[in-house]
């Protein structure tokens, strides 16, 4: 019984020590610099599409598709550089006229210049979208 109590106390003590020893995440914000500007992003990719499902309805326009694009990306403007791009997306159009799309883009740079500073970088873009049925207007501002 004393061993179990001692182990519980040790576990609680170690947990408390781990929590106390964690650095304050907001301290990292002291080194953050913000840059503002405009620019352009241009890509050259090859695409591979894979049909994951035909939705089981025999309708050729309804399906679930995985799309993988790879190639090069070039930024000009506030960011200057050329790197590699990989885009993955999935489109679910099992309900005719109401497709749902998820997308993830990774732009990877060995060397890119941002506001006069040069180094490596990764830019990640994540998004989702949907297409409403014919005659329906989506207002996501409300």
Beta bridge partners of 82: 74
Longest dimension (CA), the chain: 72
Convert the pLDDT of each residue in 37-95 to its tens digit: 888 999 999 999 999 999 988 888 889 999 999 999 999 998 999 999 999 999 998 88
Q: How many CA atoms lie within 13 A of 130 on its CB side?
A: 13
> Does the global pTM surpass 0.75?
no
Convert the pLDDT of each residue in 109-123 to its tens digit: 999 998 888 999 999
Q: Cα(98)–Cα(111) distance, rounded to whole angstroms?
A: 41
> In the chain, where are the structural domains located?
38-130
pLDDT range class, residue 29, cuts 50, 70, 90: low
8 A C-beta contact, residue 70 and residue 105: no
């Amino acid at each position: 019984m004393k061993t179990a109590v001692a182990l519980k106390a040790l576990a609680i003590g170690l947990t408390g020590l781990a929590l106390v020893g964690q650095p304050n995440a907001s301290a990292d914000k002291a080194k953050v610099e913000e840059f503002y500007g405009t620019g352009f992003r241009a890509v050259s990719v090859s695409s591979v599409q894979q049909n994951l499902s035909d939705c089981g309805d025999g309708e050729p326009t309804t399906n679930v598709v995985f799309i993988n694009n790879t190639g090069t990306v070039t930024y000009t403007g506030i960011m200057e550089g050329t790197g590699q791009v990989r885009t993955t997306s999935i489109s679910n159009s099992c309900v005719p006229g109401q497709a749902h799309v998820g997308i993830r883009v990774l732009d990877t740079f060995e060397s890119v210049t941002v506001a006069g500073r040069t180094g490596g970088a990764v830019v990640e873009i994540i998004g989702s979208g949907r297409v409403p049925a014919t005659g329906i207007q989506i207002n996501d501002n409300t």
